[in-house]
Structure 1
Amino acid sequence: MQYIVNGSNGGLLNPPGMFVEGVGTNYGPFTTGVPIPIFGAHLKLVDYCIGTDEECGFGIANSTIEASEIQITVFPNPANDLLRLEFPPSNMGKTLMSISDMGGKIVAENIFQVQGSGFEEVNIWHLPKGTYILRLTNTETDFKTIFSKM
C-alpha cells in the first residue's frame, strides 16, 4: 500500500489527500486503481515491502499471539473537575495523555511520568460539559476510553 499526502509520506490530511492502493513487482512499476480522497485522517506508513508474500510476511500464520489486557482504571465517570487514573505496576513510565471531543479534535494534552502508587489526577475543570475520548499512550499501552464531564 502507498499513501500520498500533498506529495509527502504521512501527515494530517487537511486539505484532503489521496489514499492509493495497488500492486507492483520487483520487475515492474507500481500500478493503481482509482485514488480515494480522505478527509481529516492521520496516516502513518508502517511497512512497505517489495517482494513475494512470504518475503513480506504475508504467509500462512502458524502461531497465535494473545492480546494483553490493559488494566487502567479511569474514575469517576462522569466527572466534575478531576479524573483519576490508576495504572498497573507494569505500566509505569512516561505517558502521553490526550483528550479529544467526540468529533476527534484534541482539547487537552499532557505528558506525565507514572511512578510510585500508579495514580495520576487529570484536571478537567476547563472542559465544557460533554462526552470525551481519553487516550493514554506509553511503551506498554495504547489505551482509549470514553468519559463524561458534568
Structure 2
Amino acid sequence: MIYITSYVFFWILSLIYALLNKGNGESFVYNLFMIQLIGNISFFGIFNFIGHVLMRKKVAKSIGWVSNGFQVELGFVSLGIGLCGILSYWFRDGFWLSTLIPITIFLIGAAFLHIKEMIKENNFNSGNVLIIIPDLLIPMTLWILYFLSI
C-alpha cells in the first residue's frame, strides 16, 4: 500500500513542480517526467532495500514467502536502482533511459511473478497482491511520460 500512496504523492508533487517551473525552459511533460522518475524510482528502490534487507522476515511473511539470501540480493539491486533515480536529478538525457529500462524490467517481472504465485500457489497475501498495481503502474506511467517528453 505504501507504493500506491507514494505513487499518488509523487504525482501531486510532480504536478506542483511542473506548474511552478513553467518558465525553466523545459516542457510541462518533461518536468512531470523528471519528478516522477526521480521520486518514484528513488523511493521504490530505497524503500525496497530497507524492506528486503533490514526487515526481510516481516516483508517475506507479508508476501507469503520465506526469507532467504536472495531477498537480500533483491534489496541491494533495489538500492542500486533507487540511487539511479536520485542521480537522475543531475544526469539527464541518456541516463534517464538507462534508469528507466532496469526498473521497468524489474517491476514488470515482479508483477508476473506475483500473478504466477496467485495462480499456481493460491498466494493471495496482501504483500503479493497489492504490489501488482504499482509494479505495472509505475513503468507504464514513466514510459508514457518519457515518450511524450522526447
TM-score category, normalised to shorter length: under 0.3
Q: Which has the higher contact order (CA 8 A, sep 6+)?
A: 2
Greater C-alpha Rg:
1
Compare the two structures and name the one with the higher strand fraction.
1
TM-score, with length taken from structure 2? 0.23
Compare the two structures and name the one with the higher helix fraction.
2
